[in-house]
Structure 1
């Protein structure tokens, strides 16, 4: 599968050269772009084949980006202090491909197989759209230099409270109009 995706090496010359490097705060998305058909994406982790995806796309999110496109695509919320990457399918063709949370020590590669019907497109934090033709791939790894978050000092080490309060305020997380009323005739004895 690896050779099918990256092609054969010839005379010690690599078949692919990096087009660029991007740093993202929120997410990388590989999607079908302007094509009306699903895209096919192969996902590798540390050079081991994870899965083949037929979907509108795949979102690879940082914990900071978990409340953005990742959440809209059905991915999990993730506290920003977790050292993870979130991989979320976008309208997957099968119900068996579910969102997954991976350690940020893994190196992911999302590629378009040589036999794919169409190209896919990669975007980085919703900017810089790059076409991925069959045989092309994007390598994703966590930065060695984490993004610094400045937070006010909180007594008793309650840094998570700000994140929880923000989620509650912005998303109305786990709120409802009124609590469920008790059933009539079911009194406690």
Structure 2
């Protein structure tokens, strides 16, 4: 087995990544690292972990995991997330638990949980600008100017509505606890096959989240806006693209899945209770 380590550029995460690398090598396994981690540790360049590793140990927060999944999506490498961020729903292992978790992985005492991803394609004047898989969400929002965006939404050949809002979130069930939740959207269990549409600050107060089956294709058309309006498409918080009127965005269930390693002693609702403070009185 070849291990790979991806970590955020934070001194605590970098130091932990160095200790994990030493542990992996002491067990007799090869360990690949990102360039910035290699420079921090003073070691020679390795192959990119997302290209050659059999398992990725991702140290940081959910943003670091999303970056790792974006880089490795085509290979669908199993990912063990180690929490070093602020509020992580994908990184369930803590710094104190990392070696116990790695031992469990080597012993096969883990659950590999498949998470659905969406394929998002941006089309302008009949030309594909970008096509990318996302694990959390596709977000359309405005820049600095306080102007409402008109966003037309269809599913397959059926018209849903034209939102007048600050933006729109198209979320996977995994992403339902991210930006979607912050804007008042619903929490959807990650094993539910669904597409969640949540408007951001809609002008019509009766506009609420809509949950669709992910067997359908969502077509979004930007009906207002010129380049100077600073309307942006953001994919999993990793890449951004400016939008203009009549741009079309197609979101559908993707071919790839994210493989997240979890452990039987900690279930999804325990993570929700802990992260969202549901047990507090």
Q: Same fold (TM over 0.5)?
A: yes
2:274 aligned partner: 169
> What is the CA deviation profile of residues 75-103 of structure 1, one whole-angstrom value per residue up to 9, with x for unaligned ones?
01111111111111110001121101111
Matches within 5 A, 1:1-189: 15-113=125-223, 116-118=224-226, 119=229, 120-153=231-264, 162-173=267-278, 175-177=279-281
DSSP 3-state at the match of 2:269 = helix
State the alpha-carbon separation in 1 of the partners of residues 158 and 203 from structure 2: 22
Q: Comparing both structures, which one devotes a greater share of its residues to strand?
A: 2
Displacement, 1:153?
4.4
Count residues in correspondence: 155
> What is the CA deviation profile of residues 105-142 of structure 1, one whole-angstrom value per residue up to 9, with x for unaligned ones?
111111112xx254531100112221111111111011
State the alpha-carbon separation in 2 of the partners of residues 68 and 57 from structure 1: 15
State the alpha-carbon separation in 2 of the partners of residues 142 and 35 from structure 1: 33
Unaligned runs of 5+ in 2: 1-123
How much is the aligned-residue C-alpha RMSD, in angstroms?
Answer: 1.8
State the alpha-carbon separation in 1 of the partners of residues 174 and 220 from structure 2: 21
Runs of 4+ in 1 over 4 A off after TM superposition: none
1:186 aligned partner: none
Whether the 8 Å contact between 2:125 and 2:247 is mirrored in structure 1 is no
Q: Comparing both structures, which one devotes a greater share of its residues to helix?
A: 2
> What is the CA deviation profile of residues 125-174 of structure 1, one whole-angstrom value per residue up to 9, with x for unaligned ones?
112221111111111011123222323346xxxxxx6110000000013x
Unaligned runs of 5+ in 1: 1-13, 155-160, 178-189
